[in-house]
Every structure is written in structure tokens, then in C-alpha cells.
Structure 1
Amino acid sequence: MPRTGFAAGSASPRSPQVEVAGAMSRLYQRSYPVLDTVALACIVGTWVLIQFFATPFHRMFSLDNRSIQYPHAFVERVPVMWSVVYAGVIPFLILLVWAALFRPYPHKVQVTLLGFLIAIMLTSLVTDIIKNAVGRPRPDLISRCIPRKGTPEDALVSWTVCTQSNEHMLQEGWRSFPSGHSSFSFSGLGYLSFFFSGQMHVFRPRTDLCRSLIAFVPLLCALLIAISRLDDYRHDVYDVTCGSVLGLSIAYFSYRRYYPGLRFVTCDMPYGRDDTIGSDGFAKLADDEEQQVLRHVGSRQWESRPESYPLAPTASHER
């Protein structure tokens, strides 16, 4: 008896559009770290262009505003270069040491380092875009500006009243929100904290306190870097808080793109290349697929039942 319906329908050729879409999806499945690397290069290029060509919006100010009358600290507690070392270079070196000691498989090393670089560079880009668009004065703006004599103290004035000869120092006076040190430190060190938490299963029930403290140390270091900006009168609490939340959010976003949640049993293993993509190149929901197959098989069996299972002849018919 020939098979009916389901087997014959499964062998039907797919349309060219489906074949092309499946091929493109399978190509992305095999090369998505490469595409993410290209996107990272675009982020870096855009950030470099902002550094050279972007100028901040100059919000008006008044000389009697006490919130911008703080002295300018020529010696910072955490200079820009050291913030890059603390929150960028050192965490990256720690990840390299981890890879050299534990020797995980190459895909895990690749996505871990790529996620870290994306986190710090995307945070830097977003922070600088917001800084230049908002143009909020720093707490030490008047010390930077050195307004010319005769400027009214009780009226709003523009940046043209400033006599500061150092152009970079002057323009930085309108890049207060959000704090770049805070966002960068919580991005790099926050990503490292998420990574430690996942590798050591910190959120597993009855995890020992030592593991939790190791995962907490990077966040404490990021907090100290952010507080130093308050001590140097470079930012106020609002700038530091928003910058910290921004950096930590982007770090979590970048980490979760490659790793499952920290409460998962397999939180120490990144997503594999074949976790979410089927054999034909498309992501599928198992429940929907199973329901469609069951409906299809059930309808075919109902239609073919009279043909596949004929009734036995009666005794009167045999006589």
C-alpha cells in the first residue's frame, strides 16, 4: 500500500527564496563573530571621528551659579589614561590569563574577549554622543572659563565670554553629563564581574562567600573610580550615577549576547553556534513546530483511515 500525504509532501522542493534565506542564515550562523568584529571596528571608527571633529553644545550659564564655581583640579586622582588601564587593560589581561590557565575551547575565548571589547567601546561611543548633545557645564566651569572682566554675574551668558586659551580644557567644560570615567569603569569592570559570576556560579544556591567576594571586587573598584570624579569636582552625583548605570547596562547587554543568565545551570558556557538555528537556517519554536506536525499527521491519518483499514467482509457475503 503506498504511503499517503505526509511523506510525499516532505519531499517537495523548496522555493528559491527559501533556499537563499536559509543559505544566508547558515552563513551568519557560522560567521557571526566575524560580523560582530566588523561592527566593533565601525564603533571604534565612529568614536575616533567624534574625538576629532565633534564639539559639545554650549549651554548658557551664570557666574553666580554656585554649582559651577568649584576649583579646577589640575592633578586628578584617576587621570583618563589610568582609568583606561584600570577598567580596560587590566580586565583584558585578566581574561587572557584565564584563557592561558584554563585553556577553554576557542569559541569561548573568542566570544568572551569580543564581548568585553564591544562593551567598553560601545559605552565610550554612547557616552561621548550624549556628552556632546547635552552640553552640561561641569562643576569647575567658571575656573576653566576665566570670564572676562565686566561680565554680569546675575545674567545668563554664553561661552563667548570665556578667555581660556586652552581650547581642549575649555570645550571639556561642557561635557559633564554623563561621567565618562564612571561609565567606562562600570562597563569594563562590570563585564569582568558578570564573567566571574557566571564562571563561578555565584548565584547558585549555597555558594560560598569567597566566590561572591571575588565577583564583587571589580564592581567595588569601578565604584571607587566613579567616586574620584566627585572628589576632583569634575562631576556631580547625578553625572556619576547616570554614567555608572549606563556603563553597567551596556556591560550586561554585551555579556548576555554571548552567555546565558547568571542563574542558569550552564551560565559558565557561552551560546554555541547551533543553539538557536535549525538545520534549514531558521530559528524555530519547538512547541509551534510540534503542534503543526501533530495537526498535519492527525489530518492525514483521518483522511486515509477508510483506505488503509478496510472493513472485514461479513459472513453472509462469504456464503
Structure 2
Amino acid sequence: MTRRPFLFGVWLRLHGVDLITMALMGALGLGIYEAPPAPSRSFPLYFQNGEVVYPQFAYPLRKEIVPIWAAALIAFFAPFFFFTLFQIRRRSLDDWLSTTMGLLKSLITAAVFQVFLKWLIGGLRPHFYDVCKPNVPANSAPSGIGFASLMYDRSVCTGNIDDIDDSLESFPSGHSTAAWAGLFYLALYFNAQLKVMSAHNPAYWKMILMFCPLLGATLISGALTIDEFHNWYDVLAGAVIGTSTALVAFRQTFASIFDFRFNHILLPRTTSLFHRQPVLPAGVQYPFFTYQVATGDLPFTREGGWARGYKASDAFSRGNSAGGEGSGPAEVPVHAFNGA
């Protein structure tokens, strides 16, 4: 079988709408990120006896262990490095560009999602009181708003305006969102390309490598609770957002998320607004696995029968064709074809 020759101009026309959409989403996210908090948030300071209401928001302002720019760079460049490295075996510019596009879809979607929540919902960071520096004596009679005049707004703050804006936008965590959107996508990619959860018992180092991105995302997220830049629920919400966008972006890019037979197969883009003529090899019909057999798509690993002309993994599908996990017709698995 021969690969369809890659034409960058065709690829650009097929994915042009996505590129424009990502640029617009990025601009929207940046604009919202730079905007001040939307609502006027109220917060308590002292009880009537002078006791601090929420001491969990009275931590000192510290330097971030992992700055937001570092978290964003790690979330993109760590996966991008391995996408590039794995081209030693994949050898497809289409695969390299489309896989990277999937990563960007995950990161940009997650970023816009979380900045909207920060802007409209937000919340107090653990160091809010220290940044706010309220001009309200601790033992004075309540002079705020709301019931018993116990609540205040940012008009009582005397600190730096930018720091106050930032300290009112704690929920969700941008660090966690970026880390999980990028590094969870990388973990899925490792599972697909190395067949960590497959029809054979792979080398242990592959399992370790798959968990490394998850460890990295957890460390970045956890550091935010140590330096008191986020509450635990901010971190959890960011992880949920990032994980969700990674799952959807990976499934849009590849034929499956967890099915080991197909999760390395790049789904083709055949038409778009800028390219109406379907792009498929001559004589090849859908479904997608037929297309991929013709183009010779293989994962990075060659262990367990995932190599040219070797059919060891086909036995799994035959044994499960009647149903259950991994079930399906024996002729479907792409790696089982000679020359595939």
C-alpha cells in the first residue's frame, strides 16, 4: 500500500476554517482575560466582635511556584516535543500537523472556557485580604452593606488595582486548566501510540511514560494550593475543564479514545469551506478504517504485533468477535492487514 502524497496547500484549505476559528477564540480569550471582573462582588471582613470572618482568605501574597506563562508553555511544548519525536516512526506531516491542531483545540477551548468563568463568577483567592488591604478598623462598628452592615465591596480596598482584580478571579484555576488540557491529551496520545492498554502486555516503561504527563499536571495543580494562589475547588474545576476538552479534542482528531485498535488512527478531513472536492485516495470508500488501511497508518510502537506484515494482535479481535470488550469483526483492525 502507498501513502497519499501530502500537499500542504490542500491541508491548509481543509483546516483553514479551524485555524481562523482558533485565532478568533484566542483573541476573545485574551480580551476577556485582560478585562476587569464583571460583577461587583461583596465579601465579609469582620464579625461584630472584630473576629476575621474568613481567615482562609488572609494568607500572605507569595510568589507563584509555577507562573502561568510556564504552565502554558509546558502544556503545549511537552506534547509538541513528543508529537515531533514520534514522527521517527509515524513519518507523516499530515499526522504531525493534525495532532498538533488537536492539542491547540484542547488548550484554546479550555482557556476561553475558564476565563469566562473567572470573569463572570470568579471568587476570592486565599491571599485576597492581604492584597485588598481593607481600610476598615478591626474593632470598629460594622459600616458596610447588607444585613447588619457586615458585607463590603472593593471600594474599601486600598491595595494595587491589578492585584485586587486578580485576587477576585480565583475560580477556576487557569494553571490547572492549561496543564490538564495539554498533558492529559499527551497521556491519551502515549496510550494510543505505545498501546499501553492493548491486547498484549507491553513493556513497563510505556506505562510509566503514560503516567508522567498526569503526574506533571497534578504537580502543577497542587503547587497552586501550596503557594496559596488557589483554593482546592478552583484547582479541581480547572482539572475537570482541561480533561474534558482534551477528551473531546482527541476524539475529534483520532478514531477512538480508548479502543486500542483505532485510537492511533488519524481521522481524515475530506472537505471544508475552502476545499469542496473530497480528498480520498482513488478507489477507497468510507468507513474511515478502510481509508487508513490504504494510507498505511501505524502507531509508534512495534511491540505486540503492531508492525508491518505481523498479525499477532488480530487474534484478540477474533476471540472477542462475539461481544465484550474489544469485540468486533476480525477484518476491522487496521494493524492486522499485511502492508498496512
Structure (1/2) with the larger helix percentage: 1
Please give the alpha-carbon distance, in whole angstroms, between the structure 2 residues aligned to 1:130 and 1:66.
23
In the TM superposition, 1:251-266 aligns within 5 A as: 251-261=246-256, 262-266=258-262
Residues matched between the structures, number? 252
Q: Tell whether the 8 Å contact from 1:68 to 1:142 is kept in structure 2 after alignment.
A: no
In the TM superposition, 1:298-317 aligns within 5 A as: none
Gap regions ≥5 residues in structure 2: 1-9, 46-51, 144-148, 279-284, 288-340
Q: What one-letter code is carried by the residue in structure 1 that aligns with 2:37?
A: T
Question: Aligned residue for 1:291?
Answer: none
Gap regions ≥5 residues in structure 1: 1-27, 287-319
Please give the alpha-carbon distance, in whole angstroms, between the structure 1 residues aligned to 2:24 and 2:268.
25
Q: What one-letter code is carried by the residue in structure 1 that aligns with 2:82?
A: I
Question: Aligned residue for 2:26?
Answer: 44
Q: What one-letter code is carried by the residue in structure 2 that aligns with 1:62?
A: P
- Shift, 1:215, TM fit: 1.0
In the TM superposition, 1:46-85 aligns within 5 A as: 46-63=28-45, 64-85=52-73
- Shift, 1:254, TM fit: 0.8
- Shift, 1:103, TM fit: 5.0
Please give the alpha-carbon distance, in whole angstroms, between the structure 1 residues aligned to 2:126 and 2:63.
16
Please give the alpha-carbon distance, in whole angstroms, between the structure 1 residues aligned to 2:24 and 2:33.
14
Question: Aligned residue for 1:24?
Answer: none
Q: What one-letter code is carried by the residue in structure 2 that aligns with 1:196?
A: F
In the TM superposition, 1:89-238 aligns within 5 A as: 89-99=77-87, 101-150=88-137, 152=142, 155-164=150-159, 166-208=160-202, 209-238=204-233
- Shift, 1:179, TM fit: 0.9
Alpha-carbon distance change, 46 to 30 in structure 1, aligned in 2, over 3 angstroms: closer
**For the aligned residues, what is the CA RMSD?**
2.7
Please give the alpha-carbon distance, in whole angstroms, between the structure 2 residues aligned to 1:98 and 1:59.
49
- Shift, 1:187, TM fit: 0.7
- Shift, 1:265, TM fit: 0.8
Question: Aligned residue for 1:311?
Answer: none
Question: Aligned residue for 1:304?
Answer: none
Q: What one-letter code is carried by the residue in structure 2 that aligns with 1:134?
A: I
Report the identity percentage. Answer: 24
Q: Tell whether the 8 Å contact from 1:59 to 1:137 is kept in structure 2 after alignment.
A: no
Which deviates further from its counterpart, 147-156 or 261-270? 147-156
Please give the alpha-carbon distance, in whole angstroms, between the structure 1 residues aligned to 2:190 and 2:104.
16
Aligned with 1:269: secondary structure? Answer: coil
1:246 is the counterpart of 2:241: yes
Q: What one-letter code is carried by the residue in structure 2 that aligns with 1:249?
A: S
- Shift, 1:207, TM fit: 3.2
Q: What one-letter code is carried by the residue in structure 2 that aligns with 1:272?
A: P
In the TM superposition, 1:262-277 aligns within 5 A as: 262-274=258-270
* CA deviations over 1:66-103 (Å, ceiling 9, x no partner): 2543323332111122212322233223323333x335
Alpha-carbon distance change, 69 to 55 in structure 1, aligned in 2, over 3 angstroms: closer
- Shift, 1:149, TM fit: 3.2
Q: Tell whether the 8 Å contact from 2:14 to 2:270 is kept in structure 1 after alignment.
A: no
Q: What one-letter code is carried by the residue in structure 2 that aligns with 1:102?
A: R
Aligned with 1:74: secondary structure? Answer: coil
Please give the alpha-carbon distance, in whole angstroms, between the structure 2 residues aligned to 1:90 and 1:29.
24
Relative contact order, higher structure (CA 8 A, sep 6+) = 1
Alpha-carbon distance change, 94 to 168 in structure 1, aligned in 2, over 3 angstroms: farther
Q: Tell whether the 8 Å contact from 1:30 to 1:273 is kept in structure 2 after alignment.
A: no
- Shift, 1:37, TM fit: 1.1
Please give the alpha-carbon distance, in whole angstroms, between the structure 2 residues aligned to 1:75 and 1:161.
25
* CA deviations over 1:207-257 (Å, ceiling 9, x no partner): 323212211110111001100011111112211111101101101111110
